[in-house]
């Protein structure tokens, strides 16, 4: 999985016959450089999550229930920030997302079970 200056996230798959990697899916929506991407460990099964951090001041949380991970199966929730967002990292259990940005804060986010939205559960400041 990669992200970069073209504002897209790409999921890659190894092609043994060509001995190379091919794009399995391209996820678009960011309007600034993608600075970080992280695939959540999926201990609970059922869903896969990818978080992407961008200079467009958003984090996008991409979700799929499709094991093939093709483009058409991904949906996206957007978290808006007041600054550039540099890094995203999932907890080992895969249910909490840490986000850091240019404001020197780390925020922790968790999905709400009742409606699938995301809420900030903790802010850590220097």
Q: pTM for this one?
A: 0.89
pLDDT digits (tens, 9 = 90+) for 7-23: 999 999 999 999 999 99
SS3 72: helix
Using 50, 70 and 90 to split pLDDT, how confident is the model at 65?
A: confident
Length of the chain: 126
| CATH code of the domain containing 108 | 2.130.10.10
pLDDT-wise least confident of 41-45, 53-57, 59-63? 41-45
Provide CB contacts within 8 A for 82, sequence distance 6+.
57, 103
Predicted confidence (pLDDT) at residue 82 exceeds the cutoff of 70: yes
The predicted structure's pLDDT at residue 29: 96
Tell me how many domains the chain contains. Answer: 1
pLDDT given for residue 76 in this prediction? 94
The answer to whether residues 50 and 61 touch, using CB atoms and an 8 Å cutoff, is yes
CA atoms within 13 A on the CB side of 100: 10
Which residues constitute the domain of residue 18?
2-125
Eight-state DSSP code of residue 40 = P
| pLDDT at residue number 113 | 87
- From residue 51, alpha-carbon distances to 9, 34, 87, 126 in Å are 10, 11, 9, 24
108 pLDDT above the threshold of 90:
yes
Structure tokens at 83: 């600054």
Q: What is the mean pLDDT of the chain?
A: 91
């Amino acid at each position: 999985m990669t992200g970069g200056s073209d504002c897209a996230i790409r999921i890659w798959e190894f092609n043994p016959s060509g001995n190379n990697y091919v794009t399995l899916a391209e996820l678009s929506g960011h309007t600034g450089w993608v600075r970080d991407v992280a695939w959540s460990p999926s201990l609970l099964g059922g869903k896969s999550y990818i978080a992407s951090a961008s200079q467009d001041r958003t984090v996008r949380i991409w979700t799929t229930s499709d094991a093939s991970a093709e483009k058409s199966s991904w949906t996206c929730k957007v978290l808006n920030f007041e600054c550039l967002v540099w890094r995203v990292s999932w907890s080992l259990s895969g249910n909490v997302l840490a986000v850091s940005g240019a404001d020197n804060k780390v925020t922790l986010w968790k999905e709400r079970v009742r409606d699938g939205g995301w809420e900030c559960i903790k802010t850590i400041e220097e």
